[in-house]
Amino acid sequence: MAISADLPGVGRSWFPTPPTPPTRDLASSEPIDVVETDQTDPDLLAMQDLRSFSRARLPLGPPPPTEVVLPDVPMASTRPAPEFRGKAPLPRKLDVHSVVSGDKVASAARHWSGTKARDLTGQLSGFADTTGMPETGYGLTNQCANFVSTFAQRLGLKGHYLSVPQLREALERQGWKKVSAQNAKPGDVWMSDSHTELVTRTASGRNGLPEVTGANNGGNYHQTISSHPQSGGSFYTRPVWREQS
């Protein structure tokens, strides 16, 4: 079907009639599925909130600044702290002599076994002459620290000491560390409160104790160099890493 109309300057024209949408006979057609919308669906609620937000007129804040002025901050000094100025510290050095010479020094100490301490003066290099000191019985007794210092110096000990407290303080100040009897090695130092000797053999044998050698009275009025196993007291092992000067 068509519709005619008079158009100015064109004349009568014919136009097609727009199609009529089909009708549906609800009585005879199949039932229509109706899907109810879940009003608690979070996605639906979020969409509604978003639509409401987009229609709202939010108040506008102040315009962003076009120029920002930063406060003046005094610059820190770039001069390094005093402890960081000067030469860099040298790395520690492995004392190879101290590591490999323990057995040699211990053997040299055992060599004097059976010798009276007084007779070491003038014979044992580094042994201090105490024959003029009354507190040593003029060289006859109280020679244990003198004897140990003589050999510990060969393994890095700095200074020579004639009393046990002085020798102990020097060992601790110079980095000698306490170890167990089982870990003591030849060249280490053993000490009690009033006596000291040199470790000359590691723990072994039936008793499992290290051997020490030193100036001992042994029931006499004078001291003699002798060796024996030792368990009690404190064992000090020498440092093998030393600071370079």
Picking from 133, 120, 92, the residue whose alpha carbon sits closest to that of residue 244 is: 92
Statement: residue 130 has pLDDT above 60: yes
- Of 120 and 91, more confident: 120
- Average pLDDT over every residue of 113-120: 95
Beta strand 241-242 pairing with 234-237: unpaired
| pLDDT band, residue 65 (cuts 50/70/90) | confident
Question: Using an 8 Å Cβ cutoff, are 190 and 171 in contact?
Answer: no
pLDDT on residue 38: 55
Q: What is the mean pLDDT of residues 88-104?
A: 75
CATH superfamily, with its number, for domain 94-242: endopeptidase domain like (from Nostoc punctiforme) (3.90.1720.10)
Domain residues of the chain, as ranges? 94-242
Length of the chain: 245
At residue 169, the pLDDT reads 97
Distance CA 214, CA 28 (A): 126
Angle of the 144-152 helix axis to the 102-110 helix axis, nearest 10: 150
Band of pLDDT at residue 191, cut at 50, 70 and 90: very high
* Half-sphere exposure at residue 128, Cβ-oriented, CA atoms within 13 angstroms: 21
The SS3 assignment for 106 reads: helix
Token output for 76? 């820190």
According to the model, what pLDDT value does residue 63 have?
A: 78
Tokens of 100: 């490999």
Global confidence as pTM: 0.61
Report the chain's C-alpha Rg in angstroms.
51
Could you tell me how far CA 180 lies from the centroid of its own chain? 24
- Does position 217 have pLDDT exceeding 60, yes or no? yes
